[in-house]
Amino acid sequence: MDKINLSKEKKAKMISSIKKYFQDERDEDLGDLASSMILDFFIKDLAAEFYNQGVCDSYKYMSDRVEELFEIQKY
């Protein structure tokens, strides 16, 4: 899969979300570098799984809609 490119604004927002999560859930202060490394890990090692699940979900949704087309046939 091609590399995921994020705008600076999106990446900053994601890093902020990671920092907030660690603060709220684990009571840990994470810096920008640690948060950025976690984000890079998710993108590199986990993003493909989320992407593939989205493809499967989209396929199922579209298949169900195509099947519904047969219900509107007129004889």
Is it the case that residue 4 has pLDDT exceeding 90?
A: no
Provide, rounded to the nearest whole percent, the portion of the chain with pLDDT above 70: 97
Residue 56 Cα distances to 35, 45, 67, angstroms: 30, 19, 16
- Band (44; pLDDT cuts 50, 70, 90): very high
